[in-house]
Structure 1
Amino acid sequence: MRATRFFISTQKEAPSDAEIVSHQLMMRAGMIKRLGSGIYTYMPIGLRVIRKVEAIIREEMNKAGAIELLMPLVQPAELWQETGRWDKMGPELMRVKDRHGREYAIQPTSEEVITDVVRGEIKSYRQLPLNFYHIQTKFRDERRPRFGLMRGREFTMKDAYSFDRDLAGMQASYKVMFDAYSAIFTRFGLRFRAVAADNGAIGGTGSHEFHVIASTGEDALVYCPTSDFAANMEAAEAMPLAAARAPAGAALAKTATPGTTKCEQVAALLGLELSRTVKTIALTVEKEVDGKQVKENWMLLLRGDHELNEVKVAKVPGLATHRFATEAEILECYGTVPGYLGPIGTRAPVTVVADRTVANMADFVCGANDKDFHYTGANWGRDIAEPLVADLRNVVEGDASPDGKGVLAIERGIEVGHVFQLGTAYSAAMKATFLDENGKPAPLQMGCYGIGVTRILGAAIEQNFDDKGIIWPGAIAPFEVVLCPMNYDKIEMVRAETERMYGALQAAGVDVIVDDRGLRPGAMFADWELIGVPHRVVIGERGLKEGNLEYQGRRDTEATAVTPAAIVEFLQGKLSS
């Protein structure tokens, strides 16, 4: 490729709406152009990276036995209604009507479509297992699109779907895909971690997320450095911080705590550690009983220095449809304003759920259901009925690992892939069955596996950049090598050596571009450092007369002299490493 025959449109400054590094650098490097909110045109440099990402994915998916097809972007509403997701997905699902008034979804994912395909094609256990995948545009109507390709509305995703005859087969297919994903992200040249995750809106029985490690990542990844345990924050089990409850050692006392609506304020006023306090969160569950709408009052208790994990809360029996109570509901049920709630002396019946750590606390401080007052010396059994106990909190660094093999550490990551064990969540709803060995119908066991293709670009940049620009891993760089001739149009020996080297590198299968635009060295180098090409060779008259070319890797602080005769083999060595 020659720069004069390519399209390069770098910018010195990023647009004001580019909030994070990857968005800023992609805009400045001319990789993407904003068309609308969360919608981008992939410019030639950006598209080259996307195609390299896709090529690696295809190679590893094919190697793992998956079969490529292509499903439509627009999907009939009837399929989504079969599984109930037409309503469950909410406003993120873009719904449209055709000229006849028929409803369609612009796909965010394709479980329904692939299940419809398979239920019409698969009749016998002899046709299983199967795994289909495609790389296709997706659309999710994000409430607040931001961060460029990291959280856009239109994006490209690889999604795959496996079909098996039984649970063991599905788990075997899941393991094959898990291993394929590990190979894919390894080939990308990115530091990543696979963590146990919650299934969320997709449904199913088990899943893992693949995260690119980056200090700017949105997600907290929990892992044990001395074992194999790893999970995202939503799924990481929090163990109780005390193995058993100590006996009561203080009398219950109603203590004045004026103007202290937060545990931090209460602890400071009373001169106690924050870990001695308990905070209360009021929830409401609305349900229909005998044709009437009724409200249930729930109270969650966490230690003052811990944070609520809402995903865990939704898994507590009875709280799947919970919401936070309104101030009016709190006043009616507890007789006080928020900030002074507690499990002792509530006006209305309430179900109390204590986090595991709180359930083992003694002599703790909690709200007194009276403005400007808290109870000190509160104890279970003596002052309060024993609660329901559940894991309600986010883990913190230093907590015991759930596998008992060390303590937990936390790092930041960007989710770029997710694999799910779906089981029969979709096949049962859509009556996708096959005839087993006994000639009886059985539901297909499914798995699904996604990679955010365009999101990989943002994640890779968030992990690999400096003050000059992007630093692409070689496998997904827009070009592997850039040749930067000095005075290409004016000096014959420079032009001749550039052409010789360009031809030799092409013949060796190296993805190389020649910058033949005639720019000054500073401007030329700045462009390629911004774009992030990992290997640069400068061809200059002085160096050639001395028998040298100037090589510099994108992460190198200094250039290395290499003879023209050795440069191709030298670059091949760099690329292979």
Structure 2
Amino acid sequence: MRWSQLYVPTLREDPADADAASHRLLVRAGYVRQLAAGHYSLLPLAARVRARIVAVVREEMERIGAQEFLLPALHPAELWRRTGRWESMGEEMFRLTDRKGAEQALGMTHEEVFAHLAEELRSYRQLPQTWYQFQTKFRDEARPRSGLLRVREFTMKDSYSFDLDEAGMARSFEAHRLAYLRIFERLGLPAFGVRASSGAMGGSGSVEFMSPSAAGEDLVVRCPGCGYAANTEKALSALPAVADPAERTERTGPAEQTERTDRSDQAGTFAVEEFATPGARGIEELAERHGIAPERQLKTLVQVVDGALTLVLLRGDHALVEQKLLDALGASAARPATAEEIAAALGASPGSLGPLGGHGLPVLADEALRGRTGLTCGANRDGFHLRGVSIGRDVRVTRWADLREVTAGEPCAECGAALEVLRTIEVGHIFQLGRRYTEALGVAVAGPAGERVVPLMGSYGIGVERLLAALVEAHHDERGIRWPAAVAPFDLVLTVLPDRGGAVAEAAERLCGELGAAGVRVLLDDRAERPGVKFADAELIGVPWRLTLGARGLAAGTAELTARADGSTRELGLDAAVPELRALAG
């Protein structure tokens, strides 16, 4: 390929709206152009990288016996209604009505359509089945950002397994887990699996594959000791217990400069007492003005979960993870209640709320509160709090669950080592779905004894363009992209330096032909540009090797070989160039 004929619109300045390295470099290097928010055109260089990613993924899918399909991107609403996801998917789903009045959706994922095809399975002898495709998905992201990392239209490799029993589903799941790890290793992408929430997909379990990156939107908890790893939506830790004293001494206010002691009304508990807290409308202000440590406060949140008000209780220094709340209640949507909704239910403003009183709302409490006594919480009266509150005696908990966000430094639940929290990009997600979709869509086969058996299903996704962006996040420097050899658009840039007689250009043409015949993918930079421009562009687009040929080198029978990865340079004899470069290109 000649650079003079290739469409590579490089830019010298970063795009103003780019907030991630991959966004900035893919635009600058002429790989992508934005059509609208969340919609990108892939230009020739990006199309070449994408094709190489797809080839690796396809090889690994076929290695585990998966069969390739291509399904429609436009789905009838009826299929999604049968699984209940027409309603639960919410505003992220693109919906439309055709000219005949039929409701349709642009597919966010294809569980329903693949399960619909599986209705033609008849016998257990046809199982297991593993089916996959590369297809465009559509998600109406509220805030698309970071170039290809969060978009509204993208290609996904999604695969689906159908098995007769739990053991079969576990085997299919493990085959995909190992295939994904091989994919990331072959692509040169640092990634690891973590325990994750299944969210709207449902099912008995899931694993996300995460690549560490400052541009990521997901936080992962990982143990450097035993390797435990989980998304914060699923992570647990061995939180040290807080000792509740039999009596407590604390200041009643900074202005009074006096201390009082609250005696317990029975061993290990306190009598509930209301006290004035003017101007203290939150955990931090209560700690600062009244000396009550956050871990001894009871945080009361009012959430609207699937349309119903629910009280959520946490320790004062802990944060709620919304997905844990949804998982605990089997709910599809949650949001903080408005000030008006809170006032109507509890009679107070946020900052003065507590679970005591005749509010009649269900109470969901975090496990870290179990057995706690002598706590302080809002009195449901603005400007007042309660102290001496004991869980169980004073607060009737409807349900207990792990709801809090794990933070760095907490002990690992499996080995006790201090946990670390990493920012990551999700590059793959696999699910054990069970029978949710096959039951809803009436998929059944005849079992070994002729009985009716509903197959179990798995779902496995990789975002192709997100992989492309994640690779740039992992492999770049101040000069541009540094593609791993497995995905680079070309193996080599052959840079021709200007000469008066044309001998260098002629030799470069000949060498380019020989390299191409040997299987080396060469980009011949034959442009009438200054050497500095050619070198800068080659570094920007990130091809692994650059071979520079000039008049002086030609006379000596050599060319200069530069590695993009580390900038190292050495002389290469032209007579040995083809076999050596073929070996470097793999």
Note whether the superposition's TM-score is higher than 0.5.
yes
Partner of 1:314: 326
Partner of 2:229: 230
SS state at 1:221 partner: strand
How far apart are 1:317 and its partner, in Å? 4.3
The answer on 1:170 being equivalent to 2:180 is: no
Distance 2:500 2:275 in 1: 87
Write the letter of the residue equivalent to 2:99: R
Distance 1:6 1:544 in 2: 26
Distance 1:465 1:215 in 2: 13
- Aligned pair in 2 of structure 1 residues 390, 240: CA closer, same or farther (>3 Å)? farther
Partner of 1:372: 383
Write the letter of the residue equivalent to 1:428: E
The answer on 1:434 being equivalent to 2:445 is: yes
Distance 1:167 1:318 in 2: 22
Distance 2:400 2:294 in 1: 21
Partner of 2:40: 40
On the 8 A contact 1:227/1:405 being kept in 2, the answer is no
The answer on 1:453 being equivalent to 2:464 is: yes
Partner of 1:275: 295
SS state at 2:547 partner: strand
Partner of 1:219: 218
The answer on 1:524 being equivalent to 2:534 is: yes
| More displaced 10-residue stretch of structure 1: 214-223 or 349-358 | 349-358
Partner of 1:26: 26
1:463 equivalent among 471, 474, 499: 474
Distance 1:221 1:286 in 2: 27
On the 8 A contact 1:333/1:347 being kept in 2, the answer is no
| More displaced 10-residue stretch of structure 1: 361-370 or 436-445 | 361-370
Distance 1:517 1:377 in 2: 79
How far apart are 1:570 and its partner, in Å? 4.1
1:334 equivalent among 346, 349, 354: 346
Write the letter of the residue equivalent to 2:247: G
Distance 1:478 1:277 in 2: 57
On the 8 A contact 1:161/1:446 being kept in 2, the answer is yes
Partner of 1:513: 523
Partner of 1:97: 97
Write the letter of the residue equivalent to 2:48: R
Write the letter of the residue equivalent to 1:440: E
- Aligned pair in 2 of structure 1 residues 61, 271: CA closer, same or farther (>3 Å)? same
Distance 2:468 2:235 in 1: 28
Distance 1:349 1:99 in 2: 48
Distance 1:314 1:238 in 2: 20
Distance 2:474 2:101 in 1: 46
How far apart are 1:272 and its partner, in Å? 5.0
On the 8 A contact 1:94/1:139 being kept in 2, the answer is yes
The answer on 1:249 being equivalent to 2:260 is: no
2:560 equivalent among 550, 554, 557: 550
How far apart are 1:238 and its partner, in Å? 4.0
| More displaced 10-residue stretch of structure 1: 5-14 or 421-430 | 5-14
How far apart are 1:362 and its partner, in Å? 4.6
1:413 equivalent among 413, 418, 424: 424
The answer on 1:210 being equivalent to 2:209 is: yes
How far apart are 1:535 and its partner, in Å? 1.4
| More displaced 10-residue stretch of structure 1: 51-60 or 385-394 | 385-394
Partner of 1:130: 129
2:434 equivalent among 423, 435, 439: 423
How far apart are 1:28 and its partner, in Å? 1.5
On the 8 A contact 1:219/1:414 being kept in 2, the answer is yes
Write the letter of the residue equivalent to 2:526: D
Q: Kindly provide the CA deviation profile for residues 104-142 of structure 1, in whole angstroms up to 9, marking residues without a partner as x.
A: 22212111111111212x111111111111111121222
On the 8 A contact 1:174/1:447 being kept in 2, the answer is yes
How far apart are 1:475 and its partner, in Å? 0.9
Distance 1:391 1:333 in 2: 25
Distance 1:420 1:3 in 2: 44
Write the letter of the residue equivalent to 1:302: L
Distance 2:416 2:423 in 1: 22
The answer on 1:66 being equivalent to 2:66 is: yes
Distance 1:381 1:88 in 2: 34
Partner of 1:504: 514
On the 8 A contact 1:491/1:541 being kept in 2, the answer is no
- Uncovered stretches (5+) of structure 2, i.e. residues with no partner: 249-261, 263-271
SS state at 2:439 partner: coil
Write the letter of the residue equivalent to 2:146: F
RMSD of the alignment, in Å? 2.4
- Aligned pair in 2 of structure 1 residues 298, 6: CA closer, same or farther (>3 Å)? closer
SS state at 1:426 partner: helix
How far apart are 1:228 and its partner, in Å? 3.3
- Aligned pair in 2 of structure 1 residues 383, 441: CA closer, same or farther (>3 Å)? closer
Provide the TM-score with structure 1 as the length reference: 0.91
Partner of 1:324: 336
| More displaced 10-residue stretch of structure 1: 322-331 or 258-267 | 322-331
- Aligned pair in 2 of structure 1 residues 377, 571: CA closer, same or farther (>3 Å)? farther
Aligned residues with identical type, % of pairs: 43
Distance 2:583 2:416 in 1: 41
- Uncovered stretches (5+) of structure 1, i.e. residues with no partner: 288-294
On the 8 A contact 1:536/1:552 being kept in 2, the answer is yes
- Aligned pair in 2 of structure 1 residues 466, 425: CA closer, same or farther (>3 Å)? same
Q: Kindly provide the CA deviation profile for residues 59-105 of structure 1, in whole angstroms up to 9, marking residues without a partner as x.
A: 11111100111111222222222222222222222223333222222
Distance 1:142 1:330 in 2: 29
How far apart are 1:322 and its partner, in Å? 5.2
Partner of 2:485: 474
Partner of 2:266: none
Write the letter of the residue equivalent to 2:559: L
On the 8 A contact 1:73/1:138 being kept in 2, the answer is yes
1:443 equivalent among 448, 451, 454: 454
On the 8 A contact 1:238/1:394 being kept in 2, the answer is no
Distance 1:491 1:372 in 2: 89
Distance 1:281 1:102 in 2: 42
Distance 1:358 1:311 in 2: 19
- Aligned pair in 2 of structure 1 residues 378, 387: CA closer, same or farther (>3 Å)? farther
| More displaced 10-residue stretch of structure 1: 59-68 or 25-34 | 25-34
- Aligned pair in 2 of structure 1 residues 410, 573: CA closer, same or farther (>3 Å)? farther
Distance 1:558 1:273 in 2: 57
On the 8 A contact 2:163/2:457 being kept in 1, the answer is yes
